[in-house]
Amino acid sequence: MLQQLDQEPKRLAETIRELESKIKAVSVKNCDIHIRSLGNLVTVRDGSKELAKNASGIHGILNDLSSDLTEFRVIGTSIFEKYKRNMRALSHHVQLLELLELPQLMETCSRNNLFDEALDLSSFANTLQKRHHAISAETSGGKEIIFKVAKDVGDSTVLMRNQLLQQLRQQINLPSCLRVISYLKRLDAQDKLREGKSPAKETSLRFQFLECRDAYVTSLVNDDASMIGTRPYQSISKLIERCRVSWFDVITQYKAIFGSGETSIHELYEDEGILSRWISGKMIEFLVVLGAALDNIDDLGSIANLLEQSMYFGLSLSRVGVDFRSLLVKPFQQRILAIMSLHWRISMDRCQSILEGGNWGEPLPAPRRTNTPSEDVDNIVDDSLLPPNSLLQFPIIAETTNDILSSFNQLRQCASPVFALLFGRELCKELGKVVAAIVQFKSSDGYSSSEDRFAELCDCLSESMLPYLQRCFDAIFDQSRTSMEIKTFLEIQPLVDSIAGLNPTKPKPTISIPSRKTFKTDHILTPQISGSSDDAEINDNEEVALEISTNE
């Protein structure tokens, strides 16, 4: 067994040699096959290389194709989404047209005064804007359109507001005014909502209301105010009436719209003084125009009519809590005092010059009163407003008294008790010129030859003229009913004392104030002294008209 194993390698080697010989023989025999196989191998190797090269190119192309296909898929998806959105928009074509027409429709409603519809459109636009405000742009592609529509609608509200304010600048009644203010309040609320702010107070709206109404009031009075210089009475009379009506309407409308119904102090606190400042400004303007008009009016009858009309103006406004009659006193008082002062000054200057010259004239005969017993004449003079006959002893005194009575007749038309003390002081000031004149005469050379006549003049002034003017002046202002504390509005006692000091032969007179029952206004202030010898009939119920004659 071992020997066989030892011989085995030899045997295997022999077998290998035999096989190799056979292979060589077969190879030699089939050499052409090997040659063709080698050529095919070269061909296959070259083809494989080319195939690998082509495969690499195809791989690159496939990568590009994959990218293109991905991009195509994205584009296709986008186009499909747009298509679906367009189809959805097409299905809501009518609603979209209505939405885009909101600004134009809003403007049309505003121009045609369809304010309720316009406010509804504005509210709808605000709701759309608020609804789409929280939606992202990716979710809602029409967000910008909604905001653009809402902005255009907001711009249209400016036109609506201007039209509403223009209505307040015209004649408007209270119901219409309430309706306009309600529209403005809704507009303000929507504007604040659109801006995302909390509703503000009504302060700005109050200012706008008064500004517009003030423009209307100013347009009414401008024409009358411009005619003050040429037609003062007619212009100021119309202006007072227009101001009375227009101011009353504005204040009533303001309180009806913005009033809370609480107490006046509470309303003033809420109002912050807006209405009060407006009223104060209008009063100042009115008083300036009134003063300018009164400066061009010289007739006290016309001034009296204006005073009555102005007081009625103030009384009317007192019903709405704006009584400014106390402010009206000063311009009338100044103008009436200026007219009276001029009248008294001219009269007193003339009297002063004559008294200083000593040419006092001869006594005039007293008129006869046939319907009254002679024994009662003195009682009538003492107890009435008839002029004393003793004034006829000096024609210049009688004429001066007539001039003052003439001014009293004018003054009685607008004799308010408020004016009494000031006018009384002014008249006493002018009457002091008479006292100064006789003082001047006493120190002149002509006094020695006219002592008796001078004493009579002093008696006439202190016992007749001055007390009579005092009674008439008090009767003008109805002193008996006006003041319980003030006994007289014309304090002549200092003048009487001064005259008494010039006439030491007479005791110092004391002016007695007549009882309150003495003053009657039935036949007041038209008595004028006459030097005629004709019979003059005196009737207590008629005005005594006597006229001075200084013809010598």
Is 298 part of any domain? yes
Is 345 part of any domain? yes
Band the pLDDT of 536: cuts 50, 70, 90: very low
* Residues 347, 489 share a domain: yes
* Residues 248, 178 share a domain: no
- The domain in which residue 502 lies consists of 339-363+373-518
* Residues 358, 491 share a domain: yes
**Does 307 score more than 80 pLDDT?**
yes
Summarize pLDDT for 55-102 with one digit per residue, the tens. 888 888 888 888 889 999 999 999 998 888 888 878 767 777 777 777
Is 68 part of any domain? no
Band the pLDDT of 535: cuts 50, 70, 90: very low
In angstroms and rounded to an integer, the radius of gyration of the C-alpha atoms of the chain is 58
- From 199, 225, 250, the end of a domain falls on 199
CA separation for the pair 128, 150 (Å, rounded): 8
The stretch 243-262 carries a mean pLDDT of 85
* Residues 284, 222 share a domain: yes
Question: What pLDDT is recorded for position 543?
Answer: 34
Is 539 part of any domain? no
Question: What pLDDT is recorded for position 491?
Answer: 83
* Residues 316, 236 share a domain: yes
Angle of helix 174-195 versus helix 203-226 axis, rounded to 10: 140
> Assign residue 218 a region: left if phi > 0, alpha if psi is -120 to 50, beta otherwise?
alpha
Is 12 part of any domain? no
Q: How many domains does the chain have?
A: 3
* Residues 343, 312 share a domain: no
Band the pLDDT of 508: cuts 50, 70, 90: low
Summarize pLDDT for 146-165 with one digit per residue, the tens. 777 777 777 778 888 888 89
Which residues contact residue 272 at a Cβ distance below 8 angstroms, ignoring those fewer than 6 apart?
A: 203
* Residues 379, 414 share a domain: yes
Question: What pLDDT is recorded for position 540?
Answer: 34
* Residues 300, 282 share a domain: yes
* Residues 180, 108 share a domain: yes
Q: How many CB atoms lie within 10 A of CB 145?
A: 15
User: What does the mean pLDDT of the chain come to?
Assistant: 78
* Residues 186, 270 share a domain: no
Summarize pLDDT for 99-132 with one digit per residue, the tens. 777 787 888 887 887 888 888 888 787 777 777 6
Q: Are 460 and 393 in contact (CB under 8 A)?
A: yes
Is 95 part of any domain? no
* Residues 191, 210 share a domain: no
CA separation for the pair 212, 208 (Å, rounded): 6
Is 40 part of any domain? no
CA separation for the pair 435, 352 (Å, rounded): 9
Q: Of 460, 335, 312, which Cα lies nearest the Cα of 400?
A: 460
Q: Of 177, 285, 299, 174, which Cα lies nearest the Cα of 240?
A: 285
The number of C-alpha atoms within 13 Å of 545 and in the hemisphere containing its C-beta is 2
* Residues 473, 383 share a domain: yes
More confident residue, 513 or 45: 45
Question: What pLDDT is recorded for position 201?
Answer: 66
CA separation for the pair 336, 226 (Å, rounded): 23
| Percent residues over pLDDT 90 in the chain | 17
Angle of helix 274-294 versus helix 264-271 axis, rounded to 10: 90
Is 123 part of any domain? yes
Q: Are 313 and 243 in contact (CB under 8 A)?
A: yes
Summarize pLDDT for 446-473 with one digit per residue, the tens. 676 677 788 888 888 888 888 888 888 8
- From 199, 224, 247, the end of a domain falls on 199
Q: Please, what is the Cα angle at 128 between 125 and 129, to 5 degrees?
A: 85
Give Cα 200 distance to the centre of its chain: 22
b (16+ CB within 10 A) / e for 399-436 = bbbbbbbebbbbbbbbbbeebbeebbebbbebbebbbe
- From 164, 199, 234, the end of a domain falls on 199
